[in-house]
Amino acid sequence: MPRYRITLEYDGTPFAGWQSQPGLATVQGSIEAAFQRFTTETVDVRAAGRTDAGVHALGQVAHVDLQRSWEPRKIREAVNFHLRPLPISLLACEEAAPDFEARFSATSRHYLFRILNRRAHPALDVNRVWHVMAPLDADAMHTAAQTILGRHDFTTFRATACQAASPMRTLDRLVVTRVGDEVRIETSARAFLHSQVRSMAGCLKMVGEGKWRVTDVRRALDASDRAACGPVAPPSGLYLVRVGYQVASVAPGTDAAENEDA
């Protein structure tokens, strides 16, 4: 049974998240239905990260097993045909090693959070940015972000519904920059906890507005208490940009195996 690795982009706005749910439109369910229409097979598409409702992807990775071999280009074209007009696109498809796991083999995940920082509402990026009208100090936000890099107990930035076995995570990168009216938060780690990126973005926004001091983000982290977290940012500004892999698989039980929607 051949295994295929697929790379996807999607607008999460009309979906109740990645994971299939009875009676709801989901990214996973839509892709599996497209595969079934193409191959007549019932398939299980497994993703590197189970993005939440309203969260977007520029480079989501998944794997799928099929009963017969197909040319990867044929899979991409046929599945994209059956996905129309849904806002999901297969960007690439390739044959994968039998032990490749989109989730467990991942060694890094990279997210972007976009904040539109101006008085005027978005006309072209509705549901694709977090619109914040109050002026934000991106430099202060970046300084605060550097205080929580490294391996820590991220309970403060973890959703109460998070199912990860441990709140310990290693945050490799958290960068805040301004490009015109847009403040961008870029972050990388092997794995994230459920709502971790949106929680960090919400706290950094408080710093940018001057409602929190730069030191308050680290103080919130050290509290290891969800109640110490600021307001959680909305899903509309969050994008899964890229998932990194090495040739060898990462064994279950590592951070990568416990990744939750960020």
| 252 pLDDT higher than 80 | no
Q: Which of 11, 44, 52, 222 is catalytic?
A: 52
Distance, in Å, from the CA atom of 191 to the CA atom of 86, rounded to the nearest integer, reads 28
Distance, in Å, from the CA atom of 237 to the CA atom of 166, rounded to the nearest integer, reads 26
Give which of 64, 60, 77 is closest to 18, Cα–Cα: 60
Please say if 52 is a catalytic residue: yes
Chain segment 189-230, per-residue pLDDT in tens: 999 999 999 999 999 999 999 999 999 999 999 999 999 999
Contact between residue 174 and residue 151 where contact means Cβ atoms under 8 Å apart: no
Q: How many CB atoms lie under 10 A from the CB of residue 70?
A: 16
DSSP 258: G
Here the tokens at position 91 are 């960007």
Average pLDDT rounded to a whole number, residues 53-81: 97
SS3 assignment, position 208 = helix
Here the tokens at position 60 are 């989501």
Q: How many CB atoms lie under 10 A from the CB of residue 173?
A: 13
Q: What is the pTM of this model?
A: 0.93
**Domains of the chain as residue ranges with CATH:** 3-96 (3.30.70.580), 107-247 (3.30.70.660)
Q: Strands 238-245 and 56-65: what pairing? A: parallel
How much is the pLDDT for 248?
45
**Integer angstrom CA distances of residue 120 from 13, 86, 156:** 21, 29, 32
Chain segment 14-47, per-residue pLDDT in tens: 999 999 999 999 999 999 999 999 999 999 999 9
Average pLDDT rounded to a whole number, residues 138-167: 96
Chain segment 76-133, per-residue pLDDT in tens: 999 999 999 999 999 999 999 999 999 999 999 999 999 999 999 999 999 999 999 9
